[in-house]
Chain A
């Protein structure tokens, strides 16, 4: 019953988790195919030794592991946002007698119901991508021509395990608060989520961010390959930390909104009030920006300092990988933002009832989007710099990264476009409905 209400009331809220789970299943499938294709190829011992020496033997495994980590982060965040959106309904179910366990079970069922079709759609997509990837590896001469596309025997069970597992975990963590509330308090609490200060959240975020910085300094002495691979995980940990610190960061960034006049002042208040739900979008945004900045800047700086251009094959390998991760994170970010703004239909309608025109209300949302964009850009740049600077120092002996100007402009505009697509576009559509119909 709880499940039916949740799925029927706002099917769009589950678009985010469904999309990210489809992509997660596709990425995991892609990684598994890479591993199977490389391991199963009829190669000579010398060929294998050569691949092990230049690191290409591990690319499948590395891709797979990063995909699984990314999936955990991103699916967890999107399903968490979708569940948080139901706070009021869950409170109602608690009031009419649902036990905390029943609520948790219902949430688990929802998570599974969404994950199963998403995975079924994602696996074939992953097979297609995997085929293209193996083709590309061979075509660019990165692996011997004997390597052919192979499907990993465990693809289906592993993909299901990753998507259902992460989705259940994310949903259950998000369900802790609403399921635990006393029924009498639940209804009033539901009207004002995010009241409690992050007594656990903020220290954990700080720990992850500073832990990441410490680890980055430690690995700066390791050999280039290890440092490169560990760097990815430092980046993931820090992005998660940024998500934890999200509410604090958004509060710090909110005065920015005041630069944009009266609409900006309302936006600043809204960002502070909604800092918890908005920080769900910070994790994937920071990931996308961090990955992109890291890859581009390390390539550009190496080229700038050594004067040697990256080989076309290496360039293809890094850009294909980074591009995939970035696209995944970007799609997740847009989906999370859509869920966040949809949960605010009523607020937008109230703003219009008391005299905000469609244009005025939309301006408020755009200002909020700009504050989120700025926060994500700074966080992403800091994360990338933490991983990047020690690496540059070890490999090239310089602390000065080289940032190509078109990339700088492009990433700022790209991030702004993502956030606007996630917040302002759905808001513009919602504002077309007469406000009195929304508030009833």
Chain B
């Protein structure tokens, strides 16, 4: 099957000569959960931003849900993201003044496809009945579940998660990871997650390790202890 997320020899140079990503290639088919790890500054977030169309690569090609977004205009890229991608961030990035329902509905209100009902996704993330609560009143774990519900309401082909458990305790984090796992298994979404945490990475199907902007390892996920060893392998030199 065609990959949902596809990067071919992508590089990203920043002004002043910093190279965040060089010649990185990655294809994620539907239903696959990929964890991207690496030291701070290894290019993990840049990879995610390029794959999701939040950033424009300096070289190579990026495809999202079958569309080439490498040179796409900003407005079209945004609409594509709205219709085919969901986002989960470490800092939740919710509109804290609005209610749970208003937040989850936001992509639809902005014109995205209403593929699933708000109640359905809220039930899926275990927040049935929370719709009228202001987001500001919720705990961190609950806020992250609202973010996942918002990411899933359009039934996107791809879900991008940037350190989704970074601010959460292990138990709450596990709940979030189970939801991402379900998005891949049940909904068939391609899930691309950036993380520091070997335990979080162990929930994925596939592990990609980055070192200095280069893909240093790409393979099936071993157990958490071995992930930690491998991570040390790529971080020790560059750190």
Interface residues of B in 90-116 (CB under 8 A from A): 91, 93-98, 102, 106-107, 109-112
Q: Name A440's closest neighbour in chain B (CB-CB).
A: B91
Binds A, one of B33-41, B62-70, B77-85, B219-227: B77-85
B137 within 8 A of partner (CB): yes
Q: Are A358 and B75 in contact (CB under 8 A)?
A: yes
- Whole-angstrom CA separation of A269 from B79 in the bound complex: 22
A353 within 8 A of partner (CB): yes
A273 within 8 A of partner (CB): yes
- Whole-angstrom CA separation of A434 from B52 in the bound complex: 13
CB distance from A14 to the nearest CB of B (A): 24
Given contacts A273-B98, A436-B49, contact A360 B111 (CB under 8 A): yes
Given contacts A262-B110, A357-B79, A439-B91, contact A192 B74 (CB under 8 A): no
Q: Which listed residue (A188, A194, A274, A360) contacts B110, Cβ 8 A?
A: A360
A195 within 8 A of partner (CB): yes
The size bracket of the interface on B is 20 to 34
Q: Name A436's closest neighbour in chain B (CB-CB).
A: B54
Q: Are A350 and B54 in contact (CB under 8 A)?
A: no
A359 within 8 A of partner (CB): yes
Q: Are B83 and A354 in contact (CB under 8 A)?
A: no
- Whole-angstrom CA separation of A357 from B79 in the bound complex: 7
Q: Are A192 and B136 in contact (CB under 8 A)?
A: yes
B55 within 8 A of partner (CB): yes
Q: Which listed residue (B83, B110, B136) contacts A195, Cβ 8 A?
A: B136
Q: Are A265 and B96 in contact (CB under 8 A)?
A: no
Q: Are A353 and B111 in contact (CB under 8 A)?
A: no
Q: Name B86's closest neighbour in chain A (CB-CB).
A: A354
Interface residues of A in 382-440 (CB under 8 A from B): 434-436, 439-440
Find chain B residues with CB under 8 A from A188 CB.
136
Q: Are B82 and A355 in contact (CB under 8 A)?
A: yes
B203 within 8 A of partner (CB): no
Interface residues of B in 118-139 (CB under 8 A from A): 134-137
Q: Are B112 and A355 in contact (CB under 8 A)?
A: yes
Q: Are B136 and A357 in contact (CB under 8 A)?
A: no
Find chain A residues with CB under 8 A from B109 CB.
262, 265-266
- Whole-angstrom CA separation of A262 from B112 in the bound complex: 11
- Whole-angstrom CA separation of A408 from B150 in the bound complex: 44
Q: Are B55 and A350 in contact (CB under 8 A)?
A: no
- Whole-angstrom CA separation of A434 from B14 in the bound complex: 14
Find chain A residues with CB under 8 A from B91 CB.
439-440
Q: Name A363's closest neighbour in chain B (CB-CB).
A: B110
Q: Are A353 and B87 in contact (CB under 8 A)?
A: yes
Q: Are A357 and B112 in contact (CB under 8 A)?
A: no
CB distance from A436 to the nearest CB of B (A): 4
A140 within 8 A of partner (CB): no
A191 within 8 A of partner (CB): yes
Q: Name A439's closest neighbour in chain B (CB-CB).
A: B93
Q: Are B54 and A273 in contact (CB under 8 A)?
A: no
Q: Which listed residue (B78, B81, B93, B102) contacts A350, Cβ 8 A?
A: B93
A352 within 8 A of partner (CB): yes
Q: Are A266 and B74 in contact (CB under 8 A)?
A: no
A3 within 8 A of partner (CB): no
Q: Name A361's closest neighbour in chain B (CB-CB).
A: B110
A381 within 8 A of partner (CB): no
Q: Are A357 and B83 in contact (CB under 8 A)?
A: no
Q: Are B78 and A355 in contact (CB under 8 A)?
A: yes
Given contacts A192-B134, A356-B82, A436-B55, contact A351 B96 (CB under 8 A): no
Given contacts A436-B49, A436-B55, contact A354 B97 (CB under 8 A): no
Find chain A residues with CB under 8 A from B134 CB.
192, 195
- Whole-angstrom CA separation of A3 from B1 in the bound complex: 58
Q: Name B56's closest neighbour in chain A (CB-CB).
A: A434
Find chain A residues with CB under 8 A from B87 CB.
353-354
- Whole-angstrom CA separation of A359 from B111 in the bound complex: 12
Q: Are A351 and B136 in contact (CB under 8 A)?
A: no
The CB with the most chain A CB atoms within 10 A, among B81, B87, B95, is that of: B95
Q: Are A357 and B78 in contact (CB under 8 A)?
A: yes
A347 within 8 A of partner (CB): yes
Q: Are B54 and A192 in contact (CB under 8 A)?
A: no
Find chain B residues with CB under 8 A from A274 CB.
97
Find chain B residues with CB under 8 A from A435 CB.
54
Find chain B residues with CB under 8 A from A265 CB.
109
- Whole-angstrom CA separation of A260 from B91 in the bound complex: 31
Q: Which listed residue (B74, B89, B93, B96) contacts A357, Cβ 8 A?
A: B74
Q: Name B101's closest neighbour in chain A (CB-CB).
A: A269
CB distance from A358 to the nearest CB of B (A): 7
Interface residues as binary, A326-361 with B (CB distance below 8 Å gives 1, 0 otherwise): 000000000000000000001101111111111110
Q: Are A353 and B93 in contact (CB under 8 A)?
A: yes
Interface residues as binary, B202-230 with A (CB distance below 8 Å gives 1, 0 otherwise): 00000000000000000000000000000
- Whole-angstrom CA separation of A360 from B83 in the bound complex: 14
- Whole-angstrom CA separation of A355 from B113 in the bound complex: 11
CB distance from A197 to the nearest CB of B (A): 13
Find chain A residues with CB under 8 A from B135 CB.
192
Q: Are A269 and B107 in contact (CB under 8 A)?
A: no
CB distance from B81 to the nearest CB of A (A): 6
- Whole-angstrom CA separation of A440 from B162 in the bound complex: 11
Find chain A residues with CB under 8 A from B78 CB.
352, 355-358
Q: Are B137 and A355 in contact (CB under 8 A)?
A: no
CB distance from B160 to the nearest CB of A (A): 10
- Whole-angstrom CA separation of A192 from B112 in the bound complex: 27
Q: Which 4 A-B pairs have the closest CB atoms?
A: A355-B82, A192-B136, A273-B97, A357-B75
Q: A269-B98, A351-B95, A354-B107 are in contact. List 8 more A-B contacts (CB 8 A).
A: A192-B136, A270-B98, A273-B97, A273-B98, A346-B93, A350-B93, A358-B75, A358-B78
A-B contact list, 12 entries, CB within 8 Å: A194-B97, A262-B109, A353-B54, A353-B87, A354-B107, A355-B107, A355-B111, A356-B82, A356-B110, A358-B74, A358-B75, A435-B54
